[in-house]
Amino acid sequence: MSAVLPLPVLRYIEGHSDPRRIIAYNTKTWSVCLYVTAIYLLLVFQGRRWMKHRKPFKLRRPLFLWNVGLAVFSIFGTAAVLPSVLHSFYYYGVDYTVCFSDGPTIPRFAIWCYIFGLSKILELGDTAFIVLRKGPLPFLHWYHHVTVLIYTIYGINDPNALGAIFSGMNYFVHSLMYSYYALRANGIGVPRWAAQAITLLQLSQMFVGVFVTLRAFYNDRSGHMPGCTVKDDVFFMATVMYFSYAVLFIHFFYKKYCGSRNTKSH
């Protein structure tokens, strides 16, 4: 089931994608993301120190445009990947989907999974706005950016159906999240429940991530689905990443939406 994208250039890119070349190129260059994350962390904490005695930048218009751009990109990514994943879940079931559904070995998904990985480098810019505007920078924020970047880039070296599932979920959640941020940056009031709903979607994404990873690993090791393969390193990274995200997002949700309410009631 293929999503029809409105821009001819995107259809052209999809139609001229060679999964083998993408995977081969990424295998040679993926370690660059380690240097990117090291530079990112250095700039984050040095930037916080540099801004300590300076007035925060407003950056309202750039922040709005930044979020609109990422929201539009995420909407295209959702349209390109998620319908096929949902189609597979509906018609073929969970086991088939986590093992054999359209993934990075299919030309149009290869490019979208690769772009998804590269977009995690671009999204590091979120932190620059926080640092320059002297906003709160919780551990969850930079830990999430660093780990998801390393995993998504490295995971392209092991093409499997999980890549399409992970990217499809993330594209969808980010299309809502960045749209929400864009509205906030433009001074448009957004109901509290909308922020709560987005956080719950993020949390649900983590639980689904843990489940499909464990299911694919089980299918591989048990022989329940012959031909289903998940490498040990990718399995370990995905499980630790999604489980840690689930714990951190639960803590974040409770602290922001439940803890404050409890405090006010006393």
Alpha-carbon distance 42 to 217, whole Å? 36
Catalytic residue among 16, 141, 144, 251: 144
CA dihedral 179, 184, 188, 192 (to 10 degrees): 90
**Under a CB-based contact definition with an 8 Å cutoff, are residues 187 and 63 in contact?**
no
Alpha-carbon distance 75 to 69, whole Å? 10
Helix, strand and coil percent figures for the chain, each rounded to 5: 80, 0, 20
For residue 201, the SS3 value is: helix
251 carries an active-site annotation: no
Alpha-carbon distance 88 to 100, whole Å? 9
Residues present in the chain in total: 266
Active site residues: 144
